[in-house]
Each structure stands twice: as C-alpha cells, then as structure tokens.
Amino acid sequence: MIEFHSVTKQFPDGTLAVDDFSLVLPSRKTTVFVGSSGCGKTTLLRMINRMIDPSSGSIEIDGIDIASGSAVALRRSIGYVMQNSGLLPHRRVIDNVATVPLLKGVNKADAHAQALELLDTVGLDRALAHRYPSQLSGGQQQRVGVARGLAVNPNILLMDEPFGAVDPIVRDDLQQELLRLQRDLDKTVVFVTHDIDEAFLLGDQVVILEKGAQIAQVGTPKEILANPASDFVATFIGADRGKRRLAVDSTIARSGDDVVLVDGAGYVAGVIDAPGGVLPGAGVGGTTNSRARSVSNKTDQAGDA
Amino acid sequence: MNLFLDALNFLFDPANLTGTNSILSRLVDHLAYTGLSMAIALVIGLPLGLLVGHTGRGRNAVVAVSSAARALPTLGLIFLIILYTGLGVGPLIIVLVILAVPPLLAGAYSGLEAVNRQTIDAARAIGMTEWQILLKVEIPLAMPLIFGGIRSATLQVIATATIAGYVGLTGLGRFLIEGLALRDYKLALAGAILVIALALCVDAILALTGRLVVPHGVARGLARSTDKSDAPTPRLHGRVSSAPSNP
C-alpha cells in the first residue's frame, strides 16, 4: 500500500507541479494516473522512488515513510519501467535485465539464469538475450524494460508511459501482456499515461488529474464512466462528445440478426445481437447478456459500463 | 636523396644505436618525458573533466581555461619558466602537462555530455549510486571520446617533447638541435624521422589499446540512442480490430 499525505512539489523555477495531493494506492492493484501533459502525473510517480523529493508532505509504503531510508536502497526495491525503455545501450539484453541483481550482489550465473526466465515471463525469445538493445524493435525493448523492472521481484512496479512510444498494434500486445502479468504476479502497479483508454483498460483504480495533480476523480473505470464527477472528467473521457454512447445505425442494412452500432462521432463501433431486429433487454438497462462485438478498442469499456 | 640516404645510414649504423647520446638512450629519455608528462596530465585532466561532465557544473570555466592553455606558445612558455626556475626537467614537464591537459579535459567532459540523459536517468531510477552511474554507464559510453582525448594529447606531447633539446636536455629532439647547430643536416633529418616514427608507432599502439578499452556494444556502433520518442506514434481513432469485446 502506498499512501500520499498532503504531498506538494514546487520546482526551483516556481512551477507548482503537485499541490497538496493525498491518496491511498491499494496493494496488489493497478492504479493509473491519467491526465494531460504537465498535470504532474509523472512527478507523482517519480516521488514514489525518490527520483524527486516532495517539497512538503510525506509518502509511506506499507506504513513506513520512504524518506527514512536510503534512496538507492528504495529504488532497488521498486521496479521502474520508463518510456523508451531506458536500457543501457552498451550492455546486452541479459546484462540489462540482470543489472540490479548484480548490483545487489547476486552472483553472475544466478542473475543470468534468472534473467533468462524473466525473458520468458515477458514473452521474449531467449535468443535475444545476447543482442544489444539497439538491435531490438521498440516493442521488444519495452518488454526488456519490464523484465528489468521485475528482476528484483519487487512488490511495487512503477510504469511511466511505458507504451507511449510504440505503434498502436504493439501497444495492444503489450497492454494485454501486462494484464496477463498482473494476473500472474499480483504486484502493486502504478501506471502513468495520458491515454484514457489505456487507463480504463489497465486500471483497477483510475485517478484523473488536472493541473497541479489535483484529483478530478478517483474510481474504477466503471464508476467514472457511469458518473463523471465534473465537466472536466466528462470531456476528458470523451463522454460529452458522445464517444462513449452507442446508438443503432439505422442507415445500414441489417444482415441477419445483427444490428450495427455507431458512436456519437459517427464511427462504426461494432455490432450487437438483435434477434428479429429487437435489441435484447431493451428498456431493462444494463442487464443484457447479449454478445456485443466491438470493432473499436475505444468502445470496449463503454460496452462494459 | 643523398641527404635522405645519409640519414638512413646514420639511423641504421649500429655504432649510433647504443651508448651515451645514442639513438636508444635518447629514445628512452623522450619516452620518459612523454610518460611522466602524460601521467601528471591524466591525474589532473581526467578527474576534472569527468567531474565537469558528470555534474555539468563549471563547464564554461573549464572551456575558457583550456582554450587559453591551448593558445600558449609552448616554446615561449618554457623559456619563461626557465627564467624563474633555471634549467632542468621541471620546466619541460610543466609545459608538456599544460599542453596535454586541454585535450584530455575536452575528451572527458564532452564524452560524458554526449551520453543520453534518459539513459543516466534510468540508471539512477533502477538504483545505481552516483559512482556506479559514472563508472558503469557514463565512462563506458563516453570511452571513445575520452580515449580520443588521450590519444591526441599523447601525440602532441611526443611531438612537442623535441623542445627538450633546446633547453639542455636530451630526447630525440637533441638530434635536430645538434644537426642544425653543426649544419649536419643528415643528423637533423634523422632526428625528425625518429620523432615521426615514434609518433606513428605510439598512435598505432594506442589505437589497438582503444579497441580493448572501448566496450563492445559501443565500439560496434550499437550503443546509439534507443530513444524513439521523435518517431510519430499516430493514435488511430476507431481502428478496426478483430479483438472481441470483454465478456
């Protein structure tokens, strides 16, 4: 469990990045900080492993103030995955993954054996172990970054827009991989993104932030979609533009028992079962057990809600 | 051509090879001046350059001082120092150190500056201490430039150490000075050839050493930045995917 107590961060140039932020991040859940650029979400993340120290307030992990120990020991106990992988370019993949265990004094043979297992865990071929990072694709580099983050078997994994620089298809893969990993490994994950769809897909707890890391809304994806707390949240999640609300497109000829759904912007969102042209559960609201097939990842969560 | 043949004759005459004032003893002296000066310059220049490169502080001061030091005429400086200290090895070593420090400094700080900031940030974030960042990340990645500085400083010192002959010391420069003074041009030419050959040999040795000290991944050009942030990552709206919706 990670707790922020009235944390404020003012940078030397006067920027107030985080203004009186308090929140509890539950153990073994994924908490996603989502917001626009400059809202302070990365600052929040980097304060957890003391890459940035708060100007005031405190942060506790399992009840212990993180400022009480050494920053280096803290960082070695927390997995960190960043955008653009941050791998050491002069070291082979296997050495990159084994970096922190080696720093902690694990012998080389054990560290390398463990690194190979971690490559399996993140879905990478062991043949890549002796390549250099620049010989890997962006998606593969991110996987190596995740493997390195897991190398010390941390309870906490910090992820700073880890999938921000890969193409959408690879990003989908990586997101699914992370969901699978999280089911298997059960870490406390703190994830930063500016992509609300990614936040809704990955987050157990989603924190929508405004400038100065002011909390606009905290909740599960379903709670936020069903009840946006403010106009800001509604705009941010796209509810006001009708992106989240689907409607039957009557201009498209029906084929069989499927009806085409479109979102507010007119994009074809998917189809839904409608035997005889009648939507099942119509009027009952939310209790439908029909199979909706979405063609857009953006509407998956809307379907859930 | 005769002069050139005479010079070669002198060089390969076994009588000139050993004994006092021979080629071998002056070569040893020349290497000793070079070695001593480089050792002192390395002790001064490398740590200072690495400090400036790692912290990013004091860069302007270092650039100003090393540019000024590069502009100093070595020959003038050595006579100036001798006026104060008298003849001896000391003044020679001082001017050679002043000559060698700027390229060492420049290699060290520009090498560290060229290391990707994100790589350093990541190294710190996974729990490396500042020393570990310096020794395991910054120096290995900066090694081509650091070693380039060492190589160029060494060559400058070898070439300039010929002035030892002007100030009553020996070294290979002595052949040049004596040759000119005695109008024995074959001797002067032989001295010049010796200095050139020594410089080429040392450079070749340093080039080979460089291959050993520069990490594999850096030497193969594989250590280029893994930063792909400027690659466009279009976010497709309503992209058609075959993934079924969550049950």
Nearest to A82 among B125, B129, B233 (CB): B125
**Same domain (yes/no): A136, A155:** yes
Using the 3D structure, point to which of A205, A237, A269 is the last residue of a domain: A237
Question: A75 contacts in B (CB within 8 Å)?
Answer: 124-127
- Residue A265's domain spans which residues? 246-304
| pLDDT > 90 in chain B, percent | 34
Helix B89-113 and helix B23-55, axial crossing angle in degrees, nearest 10: 40
Q: Which of B6-10, B62-66, B235-239 has the lowest mean pLDDT?
A: B235-239
**Same domain (yes/no): A205, A250:** no
**Same domain (yes/no): A227, A275:** no
Using the 3D structure, point to which of A181, A209, A237 is the last residue of a domain: A237
Q: Which of A75-79, A267-271, B173-177, B224-228 has the lowest mean pLDDT?
A: B224-228
Total Cβ atoms within 10 A of residue A123? 15
ipTM of the complex: 0.79
Domains and CATH numbers, chain B: 14-219 (1.10.3720.10)
Q: Which residues neighbour B237 within 8 Å (Cβ) at sequence distance 6 or greater? A: A265, A267, A298
Q: Can you give the C-alpha Rg of chain B in angstroms?
A: 25
Residue A301 confidence (pLDDT) above 60: no
Q: Which of A180-184, A248-252, B122-126, B168-172 has the lowest mean pLDDT?
A: A248-252
**Same domain (yes/no): A217, A94:** yes
Q: Find the length of chain B.
A: 247
Is B80 exposed, middle or buried, given 0-12, 13-18 or 19+ CB atoms closer than 10 A? middle
The residue ranges of DSSP E strands in A50-169, in sequence order, are: 56-61, 64-65, 78-82, 156-160
Q: Is the dihedral of CA B46, B51, B56, B58 positive or negative?
A: negative
**Same domain (yes/no): A178, A128:** yes
Residues A165, B231: C-beta atoms closer than 8 Å: yes
Alpha-carbon distance B10 to A3, whole Å? Answer: 83
pLDDT tens for A50-88 read: 999 999 999 999 999 999 989 999 999 999 998 888 899
Alpha-carbon distance A167 to A86, whole Å? Answer: 18
Residue A46 confidence (pLDDT) above 60: yes
Average pLDDT over residues A122-138: 90
Structure tokens at A38: 């400059």
Output the pLDDT for position B41: 95
Residue B71 confidence (pLDDT) above 90: no
Residues B125, A86: C-beta atoms closer than 8 Å: yes
Q: Among residues B29, B25, B32, B39, which one has the least CA distance to residue B169? A: B29
Residue B230 confidence (pLDDT) above 70: no
Task: Name the phi and psi angles at B102, rounded to 5.
Answer: -55, -45
The residue ranges of DSSP E strands in B32-144, in sequence order, are: none
**Same domain (yes/no): A109, A194:** yes
Nearest to A72 among B129, B226, B243 (CB): B129
Residues A298, B233: C-beta atoms closer than 8 Å: no
Question: B134 contacts in A (CB within 8 Å)?
Answer: none
Give strand pairing partners of A179: none
**Same domain (yes/no): A54, A186:** yes
Residues B246, A295: C-beta atoms closer than 8 Å: no
| pLDDT > 70 in chain A, percent | 86
Question: A132 contacts in B (CB within 8 Å)?
Answer: 217, 220, 222-223
Q: CATH number, domain at A18?
A: 3.40.50.300
Output the pLDDT for position B220: 58
Cα B151 to Cα B12, B42, B75, B145: the distances in Å are: 29, 12, 22, 10
Mutate one of A45, A47, A49, A88 to test the B interface: name it (highest B CB count within 10 A): A88
Rounded to a whole number of angstroms, the distance from the CA of A232 to the nearest CA of chain B is 21
Nearest to A51 among B125, B226, B240 (CB): B125
Structure tokens at B25: 């003893």
Count the domains in chain A.
2
Output the pLDDT for position A255: 62
Q: What predicted TM-score, i.e. pTM, was given to this entire model?
A: 0.77
CB neighbour burial string for A71-101, b if at least 16 within 10 angstroms, e if fewer: bbebbbbbbbbbbbbbbbbbbbbbbbbbbbb
Question: B122 contacts in A (CB within 8 Å)?
Answer: 80, 82, 85-88
End-to-end CA gap in chain B: 93
pLDDT tens for A84-97 read: 888 999 999 999 99
Rounded to a whole number of angstroms, the distance from the CA of B141 to the nearest CA of chain A is 7
**Same domain (yes/no): A175, A259:** no
pLDDT tens for B72-120 read: 888 888 888 888 887 878 888 998 999 999 999 999 999 999 898 899 9
Question: A82 contacts in B (CB within 8 Å)?
Answer: 118, 121-122, 125
Question: A265 contacts in B (CB within 8 Å)?
Answer: 237-238
Cα A90 to Cα A150, A225, B217: the distances in Å are: 21, 45, 5
Question: A167 contacts in B (CB within 8 Å)?
Answer: 233
Using the 3D structure, point to which of A237, A272, A296 is the last residue of a domain: A237
Rounded to a whole number of angstroms, the distance from the CA of B212 to the nearest CA of chain A is 14
Q: Which residues neighbour A124 within 8 Å (Cβ) at sequence distance 6 or greater? A: A93, A140, A143, A144, A147
**Same domain (yes/no): A83, A206:** yes
Rounded to a whole number of angstroms, the distance from the CA of B104 to the nearest CA of chain A is 23
Nearest to B246 among A51, A195, A300 (CB): A300
**Same domain (yes/no): A176, A271:** no
Question: B246 contacts in A (CB within 8 Å)?
Answer: 300, 303-304
Output the pLDDT for position A292: 54
Residue A294 pLDDT level (bands cut at 50, 70, 90): low
Residues A165, B228: C-beta atoms closer than 8 Å: yes
Mutate one of B117, B119, B126, B233 to test the A interface: name it (highest A CB count within 10 A): B126
Residue of chain B whose Cα is closest to the Cα of A195: B235
Strand order across the A268-273 sheet: A246-248, A258-263, A268-273, A292-294
Residues A134, B224: C-beta atoms closer than 8 Å: yes
Residue A297 confidence (pLDDT) above 50: no
Question: B233 contacts in A (CB within 8 Å)?
Answer: 164-168
Alpha-carbon distance A151 to A187, whole Å? Answer: 13
**Same domain (yes/no): A147, A280:** no
The torsion angle over the Cα atoms of residues B210, B53, B221 and B101, rounded to 10 degrees, is -30
Q: Which residues neighbour A19 within 8 Å (Cβ) at sequence distance 6 or greater? A: A8, A212, A213, A214
Question: B140 contacts in A (CB within 8 Å)?
Answer: 90
pLDDT tens for A272-283 read: 777 766 666 655
Query: Is residue A64 classed as helix, strand or coil in its secondary structure?
Result: strand
**Same domain (yes/no): A228, A285:** no
Residue of chain B whose Cα is closest to the Cα of A141: B226
